[in-house]
Amino acid sequence: MEVVIFVGGRGTRMSGHERALPKVLYELGGRPIVSHVIDIFRAAGHRDFVLTLGYRGAEIARHFLERPPQLDSDFVLTIEGEERHASYLSGQPDRTSLKFIYTGIESGKGERLRRVAKYLTGEIFYCTYGDGLADIDLNALLEFHRSHGKAATITVVRARSQFGHVEVSEDGTVTKVEEKPALPGWVNGGFFVFDRRIFSYLQPDDELEPDCFPRLVAAGEMAAYRHEGFWACIDTDKDYTTLDSLCQAGPPPWMAGHR
């Protein structure tokens, strides 16, 4: 099934990294963020991707055109005179199809989605951000979407506080300290399943979340899939540093359910 990945934004909250590279190409454990997102879907058996290019889109396309796929795998390089031949130690990787669609420098996500509609061949498709990672069961998400018959499914997750929470009694005694607890309620986790009816809720120049989603909610056409496992998004330099450290320590937690 096709997967639309939003990669056209400026990533301005990662200011230092944003100047050097498009945000989705900044590396976690030696591999671009967007490659980790692709891995999550590939591990669930999905091989067809649509990348919504925008800001510095040529750099993103060039990365995939120029980076030999064996650099992400164990391989043997055989040198015979001027000839070079690479072979994989664990077999040839499965086919992956990437469509690169230019969707405008300043377009919102809703408009980017509108512009790739004609390139989507199926009635149902996944959609996600290029900077969100989770050990989500994508096949369970898809089954849930098919079960309720609505136009859209949004994955919701529990966000965590950035701070330690302290409970204090009237006399000043600390009764509880909890480091970065889960916050009440649910937030948008960024893994969606849409069917083609969503395009009737999108208007030119729309943003996805503030414009399209309220229309879906008003029409009763959105359901929520609850994900209780690992989830993280890369909004800031601190987020990046934390997730890169997780990659350096061993297999990343967002792949825990797929190994």
What's the topology of domain 2-255? Spore Coat Polysaccharide Biosynthesis Protein SpsA; Chain A (3.90.550)
Nearest residue to 37 (alpha-carbon basis) of 250, 245, 246, 234: 234
Residue-level pLDDT at 180: 77
- Model pLDDT, residue 153: 98
Using CA atoms, how far apart are residues 166 and 58, in angstroms rounded to an integer?
Answer: 48
Distance separating alpha carbons of residues 4 and 51, to the nearest angstrom = 6
Residue 101 to residue 132: CA distance in whole angstroms: 20
Euclidean distance between CA atoms 77 and 33, whole angstroms: 26
Closest by Cα among 136, 108, 106 to 46: 136
pLDDT value at residue 248: 83
Q: What is the pLDDT of residue 72?
A: 65
Q: For residue 175, give both structure tokens.
A: 């009764």
Provide the pLDDT for residue 16: 53
**pLDDT of res. 232:** 92
User: What are the mean pLDDT values of the chain's consecutive 10-residue runs (259 residues total)?
Assistant: 93 60 89 92 94 94 79 78 78 80 95 97 96 96 97 93 83 85 86 97 96 97 96 89 88 75
Start-end of H helices in the chain: 15-20, 33-43, 57-66, 109-116, 138-148, 213-218, 237-249
Sign of the Cα torsion 144, 147, 153, 159 reads negative
Please give the pLDDT value at position 159: 81
**pLDDT number for residue 123:** 96
pLDDT of residue 91: 61
Distance of alpha carbon 82 from alpha carbon 79, whole angstroms:
7
pTM, 2 dp: 0.86
Classify residue 52 by burial, with Cβ atoms within 10 Å: 0-12, 13-18, 19+: buried
Predicted confidence at residue 259, as pLDDT, reads 47
Distance CA 50, CA 131 (A): 15
